[in-house]
Amino acid sequence: MICIRFFKTRKETEWAKKVLGEGGIKGIVSEDKFNDVPIQKFGVRARFRINVNDEDFDKAVKFLAKRLRASRIT
């Protein structure tokens, strides 16, 4: 698994997972933890990741770049 982006909220990360799914790419959401305790419990800002399979990395990058370009044009 390769992390392709960090997010501040789980909601944003779940949205990114949904967008990747529209491109046929399976994304996995994970939360940064220390000893299985969410890092925000230690006064550190929460951080979530969207991960994809190694073989989907290039496809995910190209798909997201295309989506971003399309959103800037409209």
Q: pLDDT digits over 17-66, tens only?
A: 888 999 999 999 998 888 888 888 888 888 899 999 999 999 998 887 78
**Residue 28: what pLDDT?**
94
Residues 9 and 40: their CA atoms lie apart, in Å, by 12
**Residue 2: what pLDDT?**
92
State how far the alpha carbon of 59 is from the alpha carbons of 43, 48, 64, 71, in Å.
36, 21, 9, 18
Residues 29 and 48: their CA atoms lie apart, in Å, by 7
Residue spans of beta strands (DSSP E) within the chain:
2-7, 27-31, 33-34, 37-38, 48-52
**Residue 73: what pLDDT?**
57
Q: Considering only the top CATH level, what class is 2-73?
A: alpha beta
Check whether 74 has a pLDDT greater than 70: no
Tokens 């959103």 sit at which residue? 71
Reported confidence tier of residue 67, pLDDT bands at 50, 70, 90: confident
The residue extents of the domains of the chain are 2-73
